[in-house]
Amino acid sequence: MEVILRKKEGSSPFSFVFKDGDKVLLKSENYKAKKSALNGIESVRKNSQIDSRYELKTAKNGKFFFNIKASNGQIVATSTFFNSEEERKEAIEKIKKEAPNASLKEEL
């Protein structure tokens, strides 16, 4: 698993994704500052280890996803959509296992 810090044009250019190979598992909101995005990555690393920080959701299209929340209740990352609850569960287990030590790559 790796974390990719991205920068695009705009007033809040920084964001990140947690990827497993070519598949994006988690994506962040957009941040105005690189330091804020890096703090978001650290928040995901830490909060991904706490079961109560996972918010399991079902989209209007019937797909499954989840949010990872910080201790203050703010969403720090949202997963991509999964076809089944089992796929979502497998992704959560992978994130719990690998996110804390995921390598960081910057695409700035």
Per-residue pLDDT tens digits for 15-25: 999 999 999 99
Query: Which parts of the chain are beta strand (E)?
Result: 2-7, 14-20, 23-27, 54-58, 64-69, 75-79, 103-107
Residues 59-96 pLDDT 10s? 999 999 999 999 999 999 999 999 999 999 999 999 99
Query: Other C-beta atoms within 10 Å of 99: how many?
Result: 22
Residue type, 83: N
Total domains in the chain come to: 1
Task: Look up the CATH number of the domain holding residue 13.
Answer: 2.30.29.80
Q: 98 lies in which domain range?
A: 2-107
The structure's pTM equals: 0.94
